[in-house]
């Protein structure tokens, strides 16, 4: 049986509202072992992944053996999750929610039968959640990609990931089912080999000048939409004000923004901020008129 499709509202490029996120629940059951707050994060992750799915050419590649195509369960372009002191469920379980949502969506889109991947994904999710729940606060903070609000750096040291090896278990379980149930579909493997991302500071500006720029990580915005009646409230959802013309250290990623000019004009939307390897910094411009 094919995986349940997400509602079209969740696929929109504008941030989904609470009703659109609520509709996703039809495709994602609540598990009795989900920790407090995780289900909201999981629903938000489904919407986040649906907004910007990877192209088929990014998902499949020619295998090293036999010339056939393979699907790698690891995504080297996966976005990070902000460290959010006011939302421990997002900080602690956000990466797991995004990974499960991405894998579910991609395997379904590649026409793997649900019987091939459903049980392995449930087992994988449960193991990751157990590991996430046991992480120290310092490790959760270190794994986050956002600089905390007080601009203090994460604690020093290496992040020793206890989940290492689970990717291989997942790939092996799905691949065993594929060989039995869908042998003509691409092999499922774990390849990985991701390198560390780089990028210089970010500078925001407005045209005309004088706009007040507020941004929030797009994933965090969706989680807050599940929990607050007005996610555009800068205080309820902990929006960050970015001073124009001032270099700010990364993060990069997808953001929801609202920019207000002195005459009362407000522009809202979603913006991807990506590093430019040919420049020492990235300038992001928000315009009152036009794109």
pLDDT at 158 > cutoff 90? no
pLDDT at 27 > cutoff 90? yes
Other CB atoms within a 10 A radius of the CB of residue 204 amount to 23
Same domain as 230, residue 148: no
Same domain as 224, residue 179: no
Number of independent structural domains in the chain: 2
The answer as to whether 115 is a domain residue is: yes
Do residues 28 and 3 touch, judged by C-beta distance below 8 A?
no
Sheet holding 60-62, edge to edge: 60-62, 69-72, 187-189
Q: Tell me the mean pLDDT in the region 179-205.
A: 85
* Residue found under tokens 């009152």: 288
pLDDT tens by residue, 221-271: 999 999 999 999 999 999 999 999 998 876 788 999 999 999 999 999 999
pLDDT tens by residue, 89-114: 999 999 999 999 999 999 999 999 99
* pLDDT the model gives residue 151: 38
- Residue span of the structural domain in which 262 resides: 202-287
Q: Measure the CA–CA gap between 74 and 190, rounded to whole angstroms.
A: 6
Residues in the chain: 291
Domain boundary among 155, 189, 223: 189
Q: What is the CATH number of the domain that holds 276?
A: 2.60.40
Q: Tell me the mean pLDDT in the region 124-136.
A: 93
Question: Which burial class, exposed, middle or buried, applies to 2 when counting CB atoms under 10 A from its CB (0-12, 13-18, 19+)?
Answer: exposed
* pLDDT the model gives residue 13: 55
Same domain as 104, residue 232: no
Same domain as 147, residue 223: no
Structure-token pair, residue 193:
């080999």
Same domain as 24, residue 148: yes
Q: Measure the CA–CA gap between 79 and 219, rounded to whole angstroms.
A: 10
Rounded to the nearest integer, the mean pLDDT of the chain is: 86
Same domain as 167, residue 33: yes
Same domain as 162, residue 26: yes
Q: Measure the CA–CA gap between 215 and 56, rounded to whole angstroms.
A: 30
pLDDT at 198 > cutoff 70? no
The answer as to whether 196 is a domain residue is: no
Question: Which residues sit opposite 213 in a β-bridge?
Answer: 242, 259
Question: From the centroid of its chain, how far is CA 61?
Answer: 22
Highest mean pLDDT among 2-11, 76-85, 146-155, 158-167: 76-85
Other CB atoms within a 10 A radius of the CB of residue 229 amount to 8
* pLDDT the model gives residue 97: 97
The answer as to whether 194 is a domain residue is: no
* pLDDT the model gives residue 280: 79
Q: Measure the CA–CA gap between 282 and 291, rounded to whole angstroms.
A: 17
């Amino acid at each position: 049986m094919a995986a349940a499709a997400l509602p079209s509202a969740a696929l929109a490029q504008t941030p989904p509202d609470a009703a659109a996120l609520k509709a996703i629940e039809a495709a994602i059951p609540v598990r009795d072992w989900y920790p407090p707050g995780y289900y909201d994060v999981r629903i938000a992750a489904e919407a986040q992944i649906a907004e910007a799915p990877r192209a088929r050419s990014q998902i499949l590649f020619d295998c090293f053996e036999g010339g056939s195509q393979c699907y790698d369960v690891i995504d080297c372009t996966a976005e990070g999750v902000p460290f959010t002191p006011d939302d421990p469920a997002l900080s602690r379980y956000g990466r797991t929610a995004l990974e499960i949502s991405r894998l579910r969506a991609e395997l379904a889109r590649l026409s793997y039968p649900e019987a091939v991947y459903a049980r392995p994904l449930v087992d994988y999710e449960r193991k990751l959640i157990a590991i996430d729940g046991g992480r120290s606060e310092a490790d959760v903070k270190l794994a986050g990609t956002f600089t905390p609000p007080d601009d203090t750096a994460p604690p020093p040291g290496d992040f020793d990931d206890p989940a290492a090896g689970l990717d291989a278990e997942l790939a092996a379980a799905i691949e065993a089912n594929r060989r039995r149930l869908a042998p003509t579909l691409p092999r499922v493997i774990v390849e990985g080999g991701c390198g560390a991302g780089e990028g210089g500071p970010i500078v925001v500006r407005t045209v005309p000048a004088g706009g007040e720029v507020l941004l929030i990580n797009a994933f965090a915005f969706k989680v807050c939409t599940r929990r607050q009646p007005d996610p555009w409230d800068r205080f309820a959802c902990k929006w960050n004000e970015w001073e124009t013309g001032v270099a700010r250290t990364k993060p990069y990623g997808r953001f929801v923004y609202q920019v207000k000019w002195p005459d009362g004009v407000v522009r809202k939307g979603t913006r991807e901020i990506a590093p430019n390897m040919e420049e020492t910094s990235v300038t992001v411009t928000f315009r009152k008129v036009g794109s």
